[in-house]
Structure 1
Amino acid sequence: MSGHTDGAPGRGSGYTRRTVLAGTGAALGACLLPGQVRAAGEDPTDLTEWFADTDGATEVVDERGTDAVTVAVGVDANGGAFGFGPPAVRVDPGTEVTWEWTGNGGSHNVVAEDGSFGSEYDDAAGTTFAYTPTESGVIRYACAPHKAMGMRGTLVVGDAAVTFPGGATGGDAETPTGTPEPEQLGPMRSFDGWLDGTSNYRGVADRRGEAEVTVKVGATGNGGEFAFEPAAVHVDPGTVVRWEWVGTAGAYDVVDPALGYASEQVQGTGKTFALRFDGDGLSKYECTEYGDQGMRGVVLVGEGPVGELTWRGVGAAAGVAGLVAAPIALGVRYHFENVTGGGGPDRPES
């Protein structure tokens, strides 16, 4: 730990490198400065000046209806690992907001402009700091040492209205993000509850008839860049599913312990990991680090879980080389091809 700012609220003997809990708002009224939090019904809060030099601050990520939301600290933005991911998020009053350090960009902290919360400085991956707003309004916050570089964020609580650089609107109670509701992609299958906590799941996307299907890794969802998109796909036997890294909020991987495949855990965009699925079956996979947060996915192959499902590695780019062997699930066999592009030998069946 590299230091702290004296006198900031929400600190004390409970601080560790892994977990920091700020005040949950019980004493919020005593901490606020005039004019810092705008209530619903007032004119929209204009965030143009606040976000003028902040990369990616173009809209509010609407996480209302979620009990807990995570914002990454130290994502790639503003000339380095000097961003919050996402920079602006809308939550319900009473939602716990947790900031989680990526470990990139040096020492960061999280400090509200109105003084209602503040963390200590830290540079360790996995450190967290939590705060629970209790009233509707708009709270600006920043990383103190990197504020001038654009490392700024905003909590939009309840139905408070905001505007962004360029005149974009952050929406209100009727139009949370200024955009239509995302369309449903297909039938809403349960998969035994596997996707119950996945906020971006909008049904099974039917990609049958396509020889190759791409799934984004680190797409927006589940409180930040913590989603596979689409979360569920239906493909034909023989289809190549290629996962492409697009998020910067942390190190992601693609893992299905039941079928025995896994990518390496990699941070950064542009990486890929690909498998060819044969037979009929179901793969339920997740990101090791963020799976419990909802970063999960499904590949439904052919007629679904009624027969044997096999997979074959077909190539991976720039740092996602290697598949991890694991015990074979009942009724499932697989074979393996060198992911760097060779015809590796089949693994023996169990």
Structure 2
Amino acid sequence: MGLGALVGFDAVRSVNAGAETTGDHHDADPSADGDPLDDWLATANDPRTPQVRDFRFDDPPTVYLDVADSKSFSPPAVKVEPGTTVTWEWTDADDEHNVVAVDGEFDSGPAESEAGTTFEHTFEDAGTYRYVSEPQADAGMKGVVVAEPAPSSEYPAVDEWLVDTNGYDGTITERTGEDLVEVVTGADGNGGHFAFEPHAVKVSAGTTVRWAWTGEGGGHDVVFEDADVRTESIAVEPGVHFEHTFNEPGVFRYACRPHRALGHRGAIVVE
């Protein structure tokens, strides 16, 4: 490893050491305004657009090193429940890599190149853990693991559906006893105007829910997972473009199809 890479990696260690907090959290809240995690990911190599992939309701993730000679961790950013074991697996036999936490929390040892090599670490405490491959740190081979408890309400199907949507914290807005409830689509969230507001709402049987478009974020629609209910087309203009009366109790999950992967999802709980 050259002197430039060593200096760059030491500088990253120094900067992040200053950002650490006391207690179990190894860094500031990654969703907070001004947090440097976005800057960290912006300089991380990834075949896709860098984003934190949520594995809190999935099997523990495997992060692959240098897929297709990309000098990247894939995926570069994952979110897991505290207590989860993350596995890293080497895929390239040409270049040497390792997995080293910036704050010293974990270290796979000297860089090596044997494909199929694995390294594991269990993230017992909540926190944000940045890491690099030392030989390629300055070239953008960096990643992050965010350990954070999943949001929890009395409706697990809603929690799993909305876990990786912008701002969902387990709160389900109480609107029972009302005849008409409005949900905004194209609200600010998920990196643009790609959110429903509120994310999840509880209503009484017989309530009509209508969706009002903001006119922001491009075209949106409303398509349900648990019922044959959907808009006829994608709408762009602001205004109310869809409504439905919920006569039966249940949990009804839905999404905007063009932006579903970004987190433009919602849920209606009918009592």
| TM-score, normalised with respect to structure 2 | 0.44
| TM-score, normalised with respect to structure 1 | 0.35
Q: Per residue, is there more helix in 1 or in 2?
A: 2
